[in-house]
Structure 1
């Protein structure tokens, strides 16, 4: 296992290089830059903007710009923001990333807490009224866009019922201790359930399908013939094997949630990476855009590694050494 982990970490190097090339290339392929567009002051001479563009290195050849960016990133410096008056990109991300992490973890917890039990129960009660209801909910969850689900949740649970706040991450400054924790939790409920809706629906279907497939296997029939209890067969044999494909999805899920939070954070005006990312795109703040994209890519790579490691934990037959 240790050798395999080392090999996978070494494989990150060429993959990260490729990711940096793609991220940088996509950012530079977009038209214009932070010093172009209608929002600039027409009273300022164009020469001033050109001098600023030269100072920022925006007129350098593309390979020089890439080299300058990737070397600063390799040293742990994401550069400075063009939009926020030269503020370090790392500071901007650090001030918001934990909000997005909290939101993604909350959405992931909602997904696992709802999808796996319902998927298991649906498989054990195949073609029952509950199974049909869960299937209908899953299809609706997959078909409903995040922004629509978010607006509907705000209208019902914030405006009509008044149970949860509709925007932000805290109600007021100066909160601390348990009061701050509970306030943040209340602000996470609506965006968290909205972000986790599609994943919950997808995991319910996967869990049900895998449980039904494993239940029809020969080793399950053998376990039942040996007189094992239904709970032992269900949780010790069926569930453990059915979770293997689910772990594959979980390896990618956190990165998917981080990227999916962009729309959700916009709908709920939640101060996370998603809001920063959209604002940076609007203002063509390429250092921030590239840094966030790189963080998302690394998150997905690490998630894949963790999925492979959990394979061996769930299924003892899997060995990497």
Structure 2
């Protein structure tokens, strides 16, 4: 277990390092001029050369990328994520103020898409070739090919503009003080963005679950259960759902990255103040400190999702536990596990002695005919 934890920590550190380097490199190669993007073309032309140089030094526009990265990484190791030049506030404060909205939005979409996709996939498999199966497949194929922002615009136009069931955007009512915002208000503003992320994320889970469910229904022990008189649904519930749990968990935990990427577009469409909207603002303004901080947070979320999947595997199937897998790998190469003994003499030499009983010599007597 100690080796497993150490390997996961090492992988996590390498992942954060790679994300930080790639983020700084992309921002440095971007054609966005931080001065022009944040000050404005007209204001920049009216400035003196001395003021332009001072602003360039403040924004780090003339500093080489590796020097900025080293300075930022040194501050990060001390707990300082830098200062957001776009919001004129510490990066940690900007992320903390917007993380709650994004995490609640993504968590709701993740849970709803996973449960609904799993249920639709199982229902389609149990009714293969029928109307329900054709409806689920058509629904999934259409949504799998639909961009997230287009679905968001469509839902916004129908349910907010035409029907007026949901607000046009933002996370709280306009003109209401933060102290007067109720939980119902926040839930009402979050509902349509969460629905957008959920209906788009259902497609992959439902199609994958349907394919796996059809494979499970064709297994011999399920067919034997059907031969004993169990119905198709009863056989799936008693013998098939456990086999569908592992692949469904794998796909659902892998969808965390897709949901975070979709939340960036959804938050822009609905003007929802979250990490996605802050990332777009930082990218358009060349705010590398804020963009790198958000990239690290998103990488941590994706890594946590994959790690959670590995740990949940052990609860569903004990054979998938990390300690057991490590013990099997150790035994496969012939290395004794910790605490193992080598027989009565407790020595490796004694364990190498052949313990198979000797084969008796062949008799010379012929079998009588």
TM-score by length of 1: 0.91
Q: Distance in 1 between matches of 2:169 and 2:319?
A: 48
How many equivalent residue pairs?
319
Q: Distance in 2 between matches of 1:213 and 1:140?
A: 24
Cα pair distance change 1:239/1:318, threshold 3 Å:
same
Q: Which gives a bigger RCO, structure 1 or 2 (Cα 8 Å, sep 6+)?
A: 1
Partner of 2:40: 39
Partner of 1:306: 308
CA contact under 8 A between 2:19 and 2:295: conserved in structure 1? no
Question: Following TM superposition, by how much is the alpha carbon of 1:91 offset from its aligned partner in structure 2, in angstroms?
Answer: 1.0
Query: For residues 216-251 of structure 1, what are the alpha-carbon distances to aligned partners after superposition, in whole Å with 9 as ceiling and x for unaligned?
Result: 123333444566675553224211111211211222
Unaligned ranges ≥5, structure 1: none
CA contact under 8 A between 1:241 and 1:314: conserved in structure 2? no
Moved more, 157-166 or 8-17: 8-17
Cα pair distance change 1:228/1:318, threshold 3 Å:
farther
TM-score by length of 2: 0.80
Question: Following TM superposition, by how much is the alpha carbon of 1:176 offset from its aligned partner in structure 2, in angstroms?
Answer: 6.2
1:62 aligns to 2:65 (yes or no): yes
Q: Distance in 2 between matches of 1:281 and 1:175?
A: 28
1:11 aligns to 2:14 (yes or no): no
Partner of 2:167: 165
Query: For residues 39-91 of structure 1, what are the alpha-carbon distances to aligned partners after superposition, in whole Å with 9 as ceiling and x for unaligned?
Result: 1411111332222323454433332211111122222221001122x311111
In the TM superposition, what are the counterparts of 1:66-85 in structure 2 within 5 Å?
A: 66-84=69-87
Partner of 1:156: 158
Matching residue within 187, 192, 200 for 2:189: 187
CA RMSD in angstroms, aligned pairs only: 2.3
Structure whose CA Rg is larger: 2
Partner of 2:321: 319
Cα pair distance change 1:58/1:159, threshold 3 Å:
closer
CA contact under 8 A between 1:254 and 1:300: conserved in structure 2? yes
Q: Distance in 2 between matches of 1:222 and 1:161?
A: 52
Partner of 1:129: 131
Partner of 2:24: 24
Question: Following TM superposition, by how much is the alpha carbon of 1:209 offset from its aligned partner in structure 2, in angstroms?
Answer: 0.8
SS in 1 for 2:319: coil
